[in-house]
A = this chain, B = another copy of it.
Amino acid sequence: MSLLVTGSIGIDTVKTPYGVSENCLGGAAVYFSMAASFFSPVRFVGVIGSDCPFDLEQVFAGRDVDLAGLEVRAQSKTFRWTGTYHEDMDDRTTDCVELNVLAEAPPAVPESFRDSEFVFLANTAPKLQLELLKQIREPVFVAADTMNLWIQDCLDDLKVLLKKIDCLVINEDEVRMLACEHNLIKAARMILDMGPLVIIVKKGKSGSLLCSAAGEKFLLPAYPADNVRDPTGAGDSFAGGFMGYLAQKGETNYETLKAAVAYGTVTASFAINDFSLKGLEAINKSDIEERLEVLRQITRF
């Protein structure tokens, strides 16, 4: 089934204990699309300024990523993010953000994308996520990400969004903040009461937790990586693998959701192997399948 993503395209500068990557390509929609394209064609909606040094056609060459929803605004500047990861690679400091074009109106969803069935609304203001979602006629399964800033500043909009999506994909700190509850299981249940049918809690190197409104749970450790060089984009690569697999299967029952979490986990484990998109660019689908089997083996008893 068709899969659409809306989200950021960024010029990132990333420092980790293993090196520095200056002015490299990043952004949630970019990581998501690269990850999802291993499983399913992707429809891409995002906006850049005229200063963007990257040719996305070339970045996605050989992958089934439709860039009809890529808008270039001549008078605007591209989103920029600079961050530093510390020794505990789950822990990062944002040194500098220039929202630039992300502070403007969102891009339009092209007419040819409006029949999309699977939709991922990457992190942005919930009001913009709602505006983007309104342009999709009859989505089958909508997932969204959010962040601490919107939980603090735009809670009412976020609560409206939560009633319109099927799945929230969110970090553990944000789960606690949104639910005002420290215990993750309780907090997840409280968020399910706000609307979504499924919540996926991303816990970094501690793995992930899926809870459904029907009471189902799934817990998966992260892949035991011994070569993490740059965690940027891990969450969006996870979401890309997850949604890509669901769109490929065209269903969202419990067994498929569990497998999708596992594919998301494995895809993210490659993304963090190297800076920017290099980790995902270096692999093919059979690498993902191989690592999935390892993950199955080392988590089964």
Contact = CB atoms under 8 A, between A and B. Distances in A.
Interface in A212-245: 217-221, 224-226, 228
A228 B183 contact: yes
A interface majority secondary structure? mixed
A153 interface: no
Interface string A124-162: 000000000000000000000000000000000000000
B185 A218 contact: no
A291 interface: no
Contacts of A88: 182
Interface stretch (A57-65, A97-105, A114-122, A256-264): A256-264
A87 interface: yes
Contacts of A186: 226
Interface stretch (A21-29, A33-41, A201-209, A276-284): A201-209
Given A226-B186, A301-B296, A206 B206 contact: yes
A261 B209 contact: no
A285 interface: no
A298 B226 contact: no
B228 A224 contact: no
Interface string A252-293: 000100110110000000000000000000000000000000
A8 B212 CA distance: 42
B220 A221 contact: yes
B224 A298 contact: no
B259 A298 contact: no
A219 to B, nearest CB: 4
Contacts of A184: 224
B207 A298 contact: no
5 contacts: A88-B182, A185-B224, A220-B301, A255-B301, A300-B300
